[in-house]
Amino acid sequence: MNRRRYVEELKKQSEIVWDIIVIGGGATGLGVAQDGASRGYKTLLLEQSDFAKATSSRSTKLVHGGVRYLAQGDLLLVMEALHERGLMLKNAPHLTFNLEFIIPVYTLWDAVMYTVGLKFYDLLAGRLSMGKSYFINRNKTLSRLPLLKPKGLKGGVVYHDGQFDDSRMAIALAQSCAEKGGTVLNYFKVTDLLKDANGKINGVRALNIASGEEFILKANLVINATGVFADEVARMDNPESKATIRPSQGVHIVLDKSFLKSDSAIMIPKTTDGRVLFAIPWYNEVVIGTTDTPLDTISLEPVALESEINFILQTAEGYFVKPPHREDILCVFAGLRPLAADPDNPASTKEVSRRHKITLSRSGLLTIIGGKWTTYRRMAEETIDRAIKEGFLKRAICITSDLKLTTLTTSNTSDRLHIYGDNSIEIKKMITENSGLGIPVDPRLPYTRAEILWICRNEMPLNVEDILARRTRSLFLNARASAEIAPEVADLMATEFGYDQKWKSEQIESYNRLVKNYI
């Protein structure tokens, strides 16, 4: 991926009519763009900030069928997600992992209910099952989860689901789209939709946030894949359109792995207020969440509420012998899920089915909303199929079920650079040629100077935050440590791209401001 080249080409080919312009560079938009480009359509994706800046870098990091939806009886949704889980593990083996989960049970009824329920979960996964589920007694549960409070514990139910790195998956999708001939641009905000004499959408007006230049871009089809921001784009189409989305915030905290002391994750199916809570080992730390708090405002940078942090800490205290305290938190992050607002009564909300929804406006804006990270591929396939059915695109077959997101000649998952797929070979070569590049930038974080330079050259980061929050996960793994390495990352970027001292100072200042939301 090369942003400078893409922008130059956009200027040179100003008359070009794209087959598809996708607005939004989260899981949904990137999935749609990858599908479109891989079917041979001339595809352009525009993201107003960085890829996965919004919800798509703030998930629980699960590739899952959704045990919760099974309890709600939504079998079709679970089957569909389990199938997609299998495909995601097959096509992105460098970024997805098989993880063992244990549900601690405190009554015999729960033991029976969860064992039977999870057997059914396995069954629904069919040949894409990730491992059998089974009951383990109290002693075995405590040997696998040594920090779980033993009082009243009857045993545990073991099952398997997938885990992944959400923002690196987003970058992998962007790369895959680019490899198939698509153009993906971060920091390109769509500010208006263009229409022909018949009122049909035929392009977008977009602003290159990095340079302030405006672009008029023509397309046969414009797809709105902007998640919780979808109403804003709908209003560009029809200023009278009513609000359909109300955001609900989900918060996670990150702690040192010593608070879990296990390679298994814990799933608490019902907290005191009826939510599901996970404690999941992730890289070398543990992620605990999430909450579900309806909000009135939508933001690219949502901030956790005190009440949400306290809720997670109190719930953890109920289950762990070594309860975490406020000062133990390495990072707290918040993401927004779209709830369906009642257009006639904006104060009321109901949970949108976790299934996605595809709609077509009178002027031809195709909108895809909802779903989950796990089902991005299927959502994309259905969106492009719908566009074909509506006559926007010539028929072409979807190939993403078998489209690998990386080549992986060795699969040594214990090698930390495994997450780069075969690109790790280039990173290792850089370290062999200059051993200084192999030293981690900070002992609390795993990332080396070689990785940061490789990312600068290949993954289109524009600022320090892009590298620390989404190309590496420094911000999410240890927010304070990430702030301490911001000056060095700014230095490396400035040398690589030829930026001056002023740029570096502004970057460090703006990153320090951002980090306050995560500590």
Ligand X SMILES: Cc1cc2nc3c(=O)[nH]c(=O)nc-3n(C[C@H](O)[C@H](O)[C@H](O)COP(=O)(O)OP(=O)(O)OC[C@H]3O[C@@H](n4cnc5c(N)ncnc54)[C@H](O)[C@@H]3O)c2cc1C
Compute the radius of gyration of the chain from its Cα atoms: 23
**Residue 55 DSSP SS3:** helix
Binding mask 299-318 for ligand X (x = CB under 6 A): -x------------------
27 binding ligand X? (CB under 6 A): yes
26 binding ligand X? (CB under 6 A): yes
Give strand pairing partners of 340.
245, 350
Structure tokens that stand for 333 in this block: 């992050």
Candidate residues 94, 160, 337, 470; the one interacting with ligand X per rule CB under 6 A: 337
Stretch of residues binding ligand X (CB under 6 A), selected from 9-17, 48-56, 97-105, 495-503: 48-56
Candidate residues 7, 21, 22, 29; the one interacting with ligand X per rule CB under 6 A: 29
156 binding ligand X? (CB under 6 A): no
How far apart CA 475 and CA 518 sit, in angstroms, is 8
Question: Residue 226 or 507: which CB sits closer to ligand X?
Answer: 226
227 binding ligand X? (CB under 6 A): yes
Q: CA torsion sign, 88 to 94 to 100 to 103? A: negative
174 binding ligand X? (CB under 6 A): no
Question: Residue 189 or 257: which CB sits closer to ligand X?
Answer: 189
Q: Check: CB of residue 390 under 8 Å from CB of residue 360.
A: yes
Question: Residue 41 or 282: which CB sits closer to ligand X?
Answer: 282
Stretch of residues binding ligand X (CB under 6 A), selected from 134-142, 174-182, 227-235, 500-508: 227-235
Question: Residue 47 or 237: which CB sits closer to ligand X?
Answer: 47
Question: Residue 50 or 122: which CB sits closer to ligand X?
Answer: 50
Question: Residue 142 or 339: which CB sits closer to ligand X?
Answer: 339
Question: In one letter, which amino acid is 427?
Answer: I
Element of type H or E holding 512: helix 501-515
Give the alpha-carbon dihedral of 214, 394, 26, 74, to 10 degrees: 150
Candidate residues 23, 329, 475, 486; the one interacting with ligand X per rule CB under 6 A: 23
Which parts of 2-121 are beta strand (E)? 17-23, 43-46, 62-63, 96-105
Least distance from C-beta 505 to ligand X, angstroms?
Answer: 26
Count residues contacting ligand X (CB under 6 A)? 39
Which long-range contacts does 107-113 make (Cβ < 8 Å, 24+ apart)? 107/154, 108/154, 110/154, 111/135, 111/154, 111/155, 111/157
* Neighbouring residues of 469: CB distance < 8 A, sequence distance ≥ 6: 50, 57, 167, 475, 476, 482, 514
86 binding ligand X? (CB under 6 A): no
Question: Residue 61 or 246: which CB sits closer to ligand X?
Answer: 61
* Neighbouring residues of 207: CB distance < 8 A, sequence distance ≥ 6: 188, 189, 191, 213, 214, 215
How far apart CA 82 and CA 271 sit, in angstroms, is 25
Q: Check: CB of residue 51 under 8 Å from CB of residue 184.
A: yes
Residue 305: count of CB within 10 angstroms of its CB? 15
Question: In one letter, which amino acid is 223?
Answer: I
How far apart CA 497 and CA 265 sit, in angstroms, is 41
60 binding ligand X? (CB under 6 A): yes
133 binding ligand X? (CB under 6 A): no
Q: Check: CB of residue 181 under 8 Å from CB of residue 37.
A: yes
59 binding ligand X? (CB under 6 A): yes
Question: Residue 56 or 244: which CB sits closer to ligand X?
Answer: 56
252-291 positions binding ligand X, by CB under 6 A? 290
Determine the Cα angle at 466 with ends 460 and 472, to 5°.
Answer: 100
Question: In one letter, which amino acid is 99?
Answer: L
Question: Residue 168 or 504: which CB sits closer to ligand X?
Answer: 168
208 binding ligand X? (CB under 6 A): no
Candidate residues 18, 25, 202, 377; the one interacting with ligand X per rule CB under 6 A: 25
Candidate residues 38, 226, 367, 423; the one interacting with ligand X per rule CB under 6 A: 226
One-letter-per-residue 3-state SS of 79-95: HHHHHHHHHHHHHCCCC
393 binding ligand X? (CB under 6 A): no
Residue 132: count of CB within 10 angstroms of its CB? 11
Least distance from C-beta 56 to ligand X, angstroms?
Answer: 3
Stretch of residues binding ligand X (CB under 6 A), selected from 312-320, 365-373, 391-399, 500-508: 365-373
Binding mask 230-259 for ligand X (x = CB under 6 A): ---x----------------x---------
10 binding ligand X? (CB under 6 A): no
Structure tokens that stand for 252 in this block: 């996670």
Candidate residues 119, 189, 355, 444; the one interacting with ligand X per rule CB under 6 A: 189
54 binding ligand X? (CB under 6 A): yes
How are beta strands 277-282 and 285-289 bridged, if at all? antiparallel
Least distance from C-beta 270 to ligand X, angstroms?
Answer: 18
Among the listed residues 128, 126, 110, the one whose alpha carbon sits nearest the alpha carbon of residue 71: 110
Stretch of residues binding ligand X (CB under 6 A), selected from 24-32, 262-270, 430-438, 496-504: 24-32
437-496 positions binding ligand X, by CB under 6 A? none
Question: In one letter, which amino acid is 357?
Answer: K
Residues at the contact surface with ligand X, assessed by CB under 6 A: 23-29, 46-49, 53-56, 58-62, 64, 189-190, 225-229, 233, 250, 290, 300, 335-337, 371-374
